[in-house]
C-alpha cells in the first residue's frame, strides 16, 4: 500500500527525518511510536506533502511515486490526513466542515456520507449546525476524522488521535478506528499512548531521531521491555 | 435638517460603490493573503470598460436602461476575467514568496495597467453621455435627489445578500470560507487551491469592476481612479476587519457617511478625517470592527530570518570605493550627473531608514514617504514662514519628521502585521491630505517653491559633498545602530516579543525608538532633497513614493544590511533610465518590477549574498 524509502525531511536547517524507511500493508493498522520530537508527525506530514521531502526521498503509494507532489494531488490519490492540532474550520458548522472534506472518487462503491459518519460518531449528529469553534476537544477530534473520511481515502493518516482526550472519548476513538479498519481502510497513526496503540494497532514501528529503530507486532513489543525502556519511556 | 437627510442619502449611495470594491479586496485578501494594490486598477478598468461597452450597446439598441445595466454587468465580468488572468500569469508564481513581494508585484501590475489604459483610451477624462432617465431627480423632503443615486443605495445591500448566499449556500463559498481560515488544511483535504484562488480573484476583480462601472455616470472614467480609490478601499477593509465581508459593508457605510458629512462640517479636512476614523477604530479594535486575529503564524517552515552579519572585507572595500567615486564625481560628471548622484544619495538614506524598520525592526511601513515628505516640508515651511537659512532648515527637517514619528509611531507599534502596515499607510495619507488640502500652510498642489541652499552650497559639487556627508553619514550611523545593543534588542523583539520581554526588553518601546530614528533619518533625506530640488510638492508623500522606498528595500533584500543601498541605487538608476529612454516608462517599470520579483524573491543583495556564501562560505 505504502512504501517509504530514504525519506529525508528538514525544518529549515534541522534534519528531522534521516533515511527513514517504512512500509504499510493493505488493510493493516500500523502505529508509529516514539517520544516527542522523534519525527512521527513529520513522517505523516511528509506523506501528505505538507512537509516537502528532500530530493532523493521515495514515497510510493499504490505503486505510484508521490514524494514532491502537492498535498491536494496526494489527497486525491486516496490518502486522508488528520492533523494533530485537528485544524477544524471554526467558523464553519459541522455540516460545512464535512462538505469541505467531501470527495467521491468514482471507484468507491459505498462512499462515506454524513449519515454513516454520524452513526460512527453519534455526538456529531446532535450538533450538525454548530460552528466548529464551539465544540469540545473530543467533539473536534471526531469531526476532524469524519471530515477526512468524507474524502473516501484508502489510507488514513492519524496524528496522535488520543492526545488530550478524556478516557471515555479515547474509548470512542478506539472503536472508531476499529470501524474504519472494518471498512477496509488502511491506517497509519502516530501515538504516544502505548495502551491506546495496543488497543487499535496490528503492528508497531518505533521512531527515534528520524530513524525507524524497531518494528514488530504489539505482542512482540509487549514482550520486549528493554525496547520500551530504550525508546519510549520518558 | 432636510439638507442633512440628503447628505445622509448621498453617503449611502457612495457607500455602495465603496462596498463593492472593498468586498472584492477583502475576499481576495482573506483567501490568498495577497494585499492587492492592483485592485484599484480593476476598479478603473471597470469604469473604462463600462464606458466602451455601454456606448457600444447604446449605439446598437438605443439608450435603454436595460442595455445600460447589461453593459455594467458585462464590464464587471470582463474585469473579473482580467483579474483571473493576472492571478494565473503573475500571482500564482509567487504565492510562496514573502507577502511583501506579492504586494510589489501587484504594484507592478498597477503601473502596467495605467499605461495600457492610457494607450487604449487616451489621457482625457471620459464622461458617459447621460440620457434623460439617468439625469432624473426625485423629491426628498423638498430637496432634489438623483434617482440614480437612490438606486445605488440598494445595490450595496443586494450585493451583500448575494455574497451571503454565495458563501453560505454553495460549495465554492464554503471552500472559500474554509480557505480563509486555513488554506493548507483545505489543500490537505484534496481541494486544488489554485482553482480556488483563481475563482476568488475572478469574483473579487468582478466586484471591483462593477464598483468602477456603477460610478461611471457620476464621475467620468479617468486615469487617477486607481490610486485614488485604493487607499480608501484599504481603509474600509481594515476598518471592517480584513477578510470580513459584513465588516466591509459596515465600514463602507461608516466611511462614506464620514465623507458625506465631513464635506459639510470640515471641508478642508475630509481626507484627513477618513484616516483619523480608521486610526481611532484600530486603537479600539486592533483587528477592525468584525475582524479576528489572523492565524498566520502556522508552521513557519524555513521562514526564520537569517542572522545579520557584519560586511565581509571585500564589501567594505567596494563600499569605500563607491563612496570615493561619488565624492570625486565633480571631476568627471556634468551637472546632470551630479543631480542624479545627489538624488541617489538621498534615496540611499531614505531606503536605509525604512530598512531599519523592516529588517531589524520587523515593522513593515507602507507609508514611509510621510517622513521623507515631512522632512522636506519641515525645511520648506521654515523657509516660507521663518525665512530660516538652509543650515536651520536641515535641522528642522529631521525634527518635524521625528516629532510626527513619535506621535504616529506610538499608535503604530501597538499593532502588528497587515493592520500595522495599513495604519502606517493611513498616517501617510493624513500627512499627504494635509499637504494637499491645507493650501494656506502648504500651498496645496502648487507646493512651496524657492527652497534654495545657502550661497556657499549653491555650487553643485559642494552640495553633493554636503549630501554625501549628511546622507551617507546618517546611513552609516543607521548601520552602526543595527550592531549596537539597541539593534540586538530590536531583532530579539522582532523574532519573539514574548521571549524578549521575558529577558527585560520593552519591545514596544524599542520599536518606537526605531520608528522615530527611521522617521528622523527619512526627514534628513527629505530635507536634503527639498534643497536639491528647490521646491516641495505633495507628491513627495504620495503612495507611489512610499512604494518606491519599499521597492528599494525589497529589491535590495530585507535581511542584508547593504540591501537598501544596492536597492536604492538599482531602483533609482532603473527609474531614471526608463524615464529617459522609454515612452511607456510606467509599463516598462511595472514589467521590470514583476520580472525582478519573479527572478529574485529574496532581493538582489540577498541573492548575491546567498551565491557568495554558497561559494566562499558564510562570513563570521
Distance CA B189, CA A100 (A): 7
Among the candidates B509, B543, B577, a domain finishes at B543
What ranges make up the beta strands (E) of B432-534? 448-449
Residue A33 to residue A212: CA distance in whole angstroms: 10
pLDDT attached to residue A194: 87
- Is B309 part of any domain? no
The domain of B189 spans: 2-224
Average pLDDT over residues B319-330: 85
Q: Which residues of chain B make contact with A101, given a CB cutoff of 8 A? A: 189-190
For B257-287, the DSSP string reads HHHHHHHHH-GGGHHHHHHHHHHHHHHH-TT
Q: How many degrees, rounded to 5, is the angle at CA A111 between CA A106 and CA A113?
A: 135
Whether A51 has its CB under 8 Å from any CB of chain B: the answer is yes
Give CA–CA dist B189/B172, Å, rounded.
14
Q: How many helices (H) and strands (E) does chain B have?
A: 27, 4
Burial of B619 (0-12, 13-18, 19+ CB in 10 A): middle
Cα dihedral A84, A89, A91, A95, rounded to 10, equals -120
Q: Per the structure block, which three cell numbers stand in for B290?
A: 468584525
The span from the CA of A196 to the CA of A147, in Å, is: 22
Chain A residue whose CA is closest to B168: A96
Neighbours of B614 (CB within 10 A): 9
Q: Exposed (0-12), middle (13-18) or buried (19+): which is B479, by Cβ within 10 Å?
A: buried
- A9 has which bridge partners? A17
Give domain status of residue B572, yes or no.
no
CA distance B396 to B533: 17
What is the three-class DSSP state of B594? Answer: helix
Residue A12: closest C-alpha in chain B: B302
What is the number of helices (H) and of strands (E) in chain A? 10, 10
Cβ neighbours for B306, distance < 8 A, ≥ 6 positions apart: B559
Contact (CB, 8 A) for B449 and B326: no
Distance CA A39, CA A231 (A): 13
In A, which residues are within 8 Å of B618 by CB distance?
none
Residue B293 belongs to a domain: no
Q: Which tops the pLDDT comparison, B308 or A137? A: A137
Distance CA B123, CA A165 (A): 67
Q: Using alpha carbons, select from A162, A155, A177, A159 the residue that is nearest to residue A25.
A: A155
Nearest chain A Cα distance for residue B302, angstroms: 4
For residue B365, give the nearest of B429, B300, B270 by alpha carbon. Answer: B429
B208 and B345 inside one domain: no
Q: Give me the domains of chain A, ranges plus CATH numbers.
A: 2-231 (3.40.50.300)
Q: Using CB atoms within 10 A of its CB, is residue B427 exposed (0-12), middle (13-18) or buried (19+)?
A: buried
Q: Quick: pLDDT tens for A88-113.
A: 999 899 999 999 999 988 888 888 99
Interface test with A, best of B31, B177, B189 (most A CBs within 10 A): B189
Question: How close does chain B come to A89, measured CA to CA in Å?
Answer: 6
Put simply, the answer to whether A87 touches B185 (Cβ < 8 Å) is yes
Task: State chain B's maximal CA–CA distance in angstroms.
Answer: 81
Q: Is residue B380 part of a domain?
A: yes
At B74 the pLDDT is: 98
Asked if the C-beta of B81 comes within 8 angstroms of chain A's C-beta atoms, the answer is: no
How far away is chain B from the Cα of A220, in angstroms, using its nearest Cα? 34
Number of domains in chain B: 2
Is the predicted pLDDT of residue B93 greater than 70, yes or no?
yes
Residue to test with chain A: of B177, B190, B295, B298, most A Cβ within 10 A: B190
Q: Which residue has the cell 513627495?
A: B540
- Measured between CA atoms, how close is B304 to chain A, in angstroms? 8
What is the per-residue pLDDT for B304? 46
Q: What is the pLDDT of residue B603?
A: 63
pLDDT 10s digits, B117-167: 999 999 999 999 989 998 899 988 788 899 999 999 999 999 999 999 999
Burial of B113 (0-12, 13-18, 19+ CB in 10 A): buried
Mutation to test the B interface, candidates A53, A84, A87, A153, most B Cβ within 10 Å = A87
Residue B301 has pLDDT above 50, yes or no: no
pLDDT at B537 over 80: yes
pLDDT for res B305: 55
Q: Is A2:A186 a contact under the CB 8 Å cutoff?
A: yes
Of A12, A91, A148, the CB nearest to B177: A91
Q: Is residue B387 part of a domain?
A: yes
**Residues of A whose CB is below 8 A from B299:** 50
- Chain B contact for A132 (CB, 8 A cutoff): no
| pLDDT for the residue A160 | 92
Instruction: Report the chain A residue with the minimal C-alpha distance to residue B181.
Output: A89
Flag whether B177 is in a domain: yes
Cα separation, B16 vs B253, whole angstroms: 8
How far apart (Å, rounded) are the C-alpha atoms in residues B401 and B185? 45
Domain assignment present for residue B259? The answer is no
Cβ of B610 under 8 Å from any chain A Cβ? Answer: no
Q: Say if residue B202's pLDDT is above 90.
A: yes
Chosen domain end from B189, B224, B259: B224
Mean pLDDT of B345-367: 91
pLDDT at B298 over 50: no
- The rounded Cα A28 to chain-centroid distance in angstroms is 13
Query: Is B396 a member of any domain?
Result: yes
How far apart are alpha carbons A154 and A1 in whole angstroms? 9
ipTM of the complex: 0.93
Pairing relationship of beta strands A155-159 and A186-191 according to DSSP bridges: parallel
pLDDT digits (tens, 9 = 90+) for A218-228: 888 888 888 88
The residues near B321 (Cβ < 8 Å, ≥ 6 apart) are: none
Which of A72, A151, A155, A156 to probe by mutation at the B interface, max B CB count within 10 Å?
A72
Picking from B543, B558, B573, the residue at the C-terminal end of a domain is B543
Q: Cell triple for residue B335?
A: 551637472
- B28: which residues sit within 8 A by CB, 6+ positions away? B34, B36, B39, B200, B201, B204
Same domain, B209 and B350: no
A–B: how many Cβ contacts below 8 A? 66
pLDDT of B297 over the 70 cut: no
Amino acid at each position: 500500500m505504502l512504501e517509504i524509502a530514504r525519506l529525508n525531511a528538514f525544518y529549515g536547517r534541522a534534519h528531522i527525518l534521516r533515511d527513514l524507511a517504512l512500509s504499510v500493508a493493505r488493510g493493516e493498522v500500523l502505529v508509529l511510536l516514539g517520544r516527542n520530537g522523534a519525527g512521527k508527525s513529520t513522517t505523516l506530514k511528509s506523506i501528505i506533502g505538507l512537509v516537502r521531502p528532500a530530493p532523493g526521498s521515495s514515497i510510493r503509494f499504490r505503486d505510484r511515486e508521490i514524494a514532491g507532489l502537492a498535498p491536494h494531488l496526494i489527497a486525491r490519490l486516496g490518502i486522508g490526513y488528520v492533523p494533530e492540532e485537528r485544524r477544524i474550520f471554526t467558523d464553519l458548522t459541522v455540516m460545512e466542515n464535512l462538505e469541505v472534506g467531501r470527495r467521491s472518487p468514482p471507484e468507491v462503491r459505498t462512499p462515506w456520507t454524513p449519515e454513516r459518519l454520524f452513526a460512527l460518531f453519534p455526538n456529531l449528529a446532535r450538533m450538525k449546525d454548530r460552528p466548529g469553534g464551539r465544540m469540545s476537544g473530543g467533539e473536534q477530534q471526531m469531526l476532524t476524522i469524519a471530515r477526512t473520511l468524507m474524502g473516501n481515502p484508502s489510507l488514513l493518516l492519524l496524528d496522535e488521535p488520543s492526545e488530550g482526550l478524556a478516557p471515555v472519548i479515547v474509548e470512542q476513538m478506539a472503536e472508531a478506528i476499529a470501524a474504519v479498519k472494518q471498512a477496509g481502510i488502511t491506517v497509519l497513526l502516530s501515538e504516544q499512548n502505548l495502551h491506546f496503540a495496543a488497543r487499535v494497532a496490528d503492528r508497531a514501528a518505533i521512531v527515534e531521531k528520524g530513524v525507524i529503530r524497531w518494528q514488530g507486532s504489539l505482542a512482540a513489543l509487549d514482550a520486549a521491555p528493554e525496547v520500551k525502556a530504550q525508546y519510549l519511556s520518558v | 435638517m432636510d439638507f442633512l437627510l440628503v447628505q445622509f442619502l448621498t453617503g449611502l449611495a457612495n457607500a455602495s460603490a465603496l462596498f463593492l470594491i472593498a468586498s472584492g479586496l477583502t475576499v481576495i485578501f482573506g483567501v490568498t493573503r495577497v494585499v492587492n494594490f492592483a485592485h484599484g486598477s480593476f476598479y478603473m478598468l471597470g469604469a473604462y470598460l463600462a464606458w466602451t461597452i455601454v456606448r457600444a450597446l447604446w449605439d446598437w439598441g438605443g439608450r435603454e436602461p436595460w442595455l445600460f445595466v447589461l453593459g455594467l454587468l458585462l464590464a464587471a465580468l470582463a474585469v473579473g476575467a482580467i483579474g483571473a488572468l493576472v492571478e494565473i500569469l503573475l500571482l500564482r508564481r509567487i504565492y510562496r514568496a514573502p507577502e511583501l513581494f506579492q504586494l510589489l508585484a501587484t504594484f507592478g501590475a498597477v503601473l502596467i495597467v495605467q499605461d495600457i489604459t492610457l494607450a487604449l483610451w487616451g489621457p482625457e477624462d471620459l464622461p458617459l453621455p447621460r440620457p434623460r432617465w439617468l439625469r432624473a431627480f426625485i423629491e426628498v423632503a423638498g430637496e432634489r435627489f438623483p434617482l440614480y443615486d437612490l438606486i445605488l443605495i440598494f445595490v450595496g445591500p443586494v450585493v451583500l445578500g448575494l455574497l451571503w448566499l454565495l458563501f453560505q449556500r454553495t460549495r465554492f463559498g464554503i471552500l472559500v470560507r474554509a480557505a480563509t481560515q486555513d488554506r493548507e488544511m483545505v489543500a490537505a483535504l484534496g481541494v486544488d487551491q489554485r482553482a480556488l484562488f483563481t475563482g476568488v480573484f475572478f469574483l473579487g476583480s468582478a466586484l471591483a469592476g462593477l464598483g468602477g462601472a456603477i460610478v461611471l455616470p457620476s464621475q467620468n472614467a479617468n486615469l487617477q481612479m486607481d490610486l485614488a480609490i485604493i487607499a480608501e478601499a484599504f481603509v474600509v477593509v481594515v476598518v471592517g476587519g480584513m477578510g470580513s465581508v459584513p465588516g466591509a459593508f459596515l465600514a463602507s457605510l461608516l466611511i462614506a457617511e464620514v465623507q458625506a458629512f465631513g464635506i459639510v462640517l470640515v471641508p478642508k479636512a475630509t481626507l484627513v478625517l477618513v484616516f483619523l476614523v480608521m486610526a481611532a477604530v484600530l486603537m479600539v479594535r486592533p483587528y477592525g470592527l468584525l475582524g479576528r486575529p489572523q492565524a498566520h503564524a502556522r508552521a513557519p517552515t524555513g521562514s526564520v530570518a537569517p542572522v545579520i552579519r557584519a560586511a565581509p572585507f571585500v564589501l567594505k572595500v567596494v563600499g569605500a570605493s563607491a563612496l570615493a567615486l561619488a565624492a570625486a564625481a565633480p571631476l568627471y560628471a556634468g551637472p546632470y550627473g551630479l543631480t542624479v548622484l545627489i538624488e541617489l544619495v538621498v534615496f540611499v538614506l531614505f531606503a536605509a531608514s525604512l530598512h531599519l524598520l523592516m529588517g531589524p525592526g520587523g515593522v513593515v511601513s507602507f507609508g514611509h514617504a510621510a517622513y521623507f515628505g515631512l522632512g522636506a516640508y519641515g525645511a520648506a515651511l521654515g523657509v516660507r514662514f521663518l525665512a530660516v537659512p538652509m543650515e536651520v532648515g536641515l535641522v528642522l527637517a529631521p525634527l518635524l519628521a521625528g516629532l510626527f514619528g513619535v506621535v504616529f509611531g506610538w499608535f503604530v507599534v501597538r499593532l502588528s502585521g497587515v493592520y500595522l502596515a495599513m495604519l502606517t499607510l493611513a498616517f501617510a495619507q493624513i500627512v499627504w491630505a494635509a499637504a494637499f488640502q491645507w493650501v494656506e500652510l502648504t500651498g496645496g498642489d502648487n507646493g512651496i517653491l524657492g527652497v534654495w541652499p545657502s550661497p556657499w552650497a549653491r555650487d553643485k559639487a559642494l552640495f553633493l559633498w554636503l549630501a554625501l556627508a549628511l546622507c551617507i553619514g546618517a546611513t552609516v550611523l543607521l548601520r552602526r545602530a543595527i550592531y549596537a545593543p539597541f539593534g540586538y534588542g530590536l531583532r530579539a523583539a522582532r523574532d519573539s516579543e514574548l521571549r524578549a520581554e521575558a529577558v527585560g526588553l520593552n519591545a514596544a518601546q524599542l520599536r518606537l525608538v526605531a520608528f522615530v530614528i527611521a522617521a528622523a533619518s527619512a526627514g534628513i533625506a527629505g530635507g536634503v532633497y527639498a534643497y536639491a530640488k528647490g521646491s516641495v510638492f505633495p507628491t513627495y508623500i504620495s503612495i507611489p513614493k512610499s512604494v518606491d522606498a519599499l521597492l528599494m528595500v525589497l529589491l535590495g533584500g530585507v535581511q542584508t544590511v547593504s540591501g537598501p543601498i544596492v536597492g536604492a541605487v538599482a531602483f533609482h538608476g532603473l527609474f531614471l533610465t526608463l524615464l529617459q529612454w522609454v515612452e511607456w516608462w510606467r509599463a516598462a517599470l511595472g514589467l521590470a518590477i514583476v520580472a525582478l520579483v519573479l527572478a529574485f524573491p529574496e532581493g538582489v543583495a540577498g541573492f548575491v549574498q546567498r551565491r557568495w556564501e554558497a561559494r566562499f562560505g558564510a562570513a563570521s
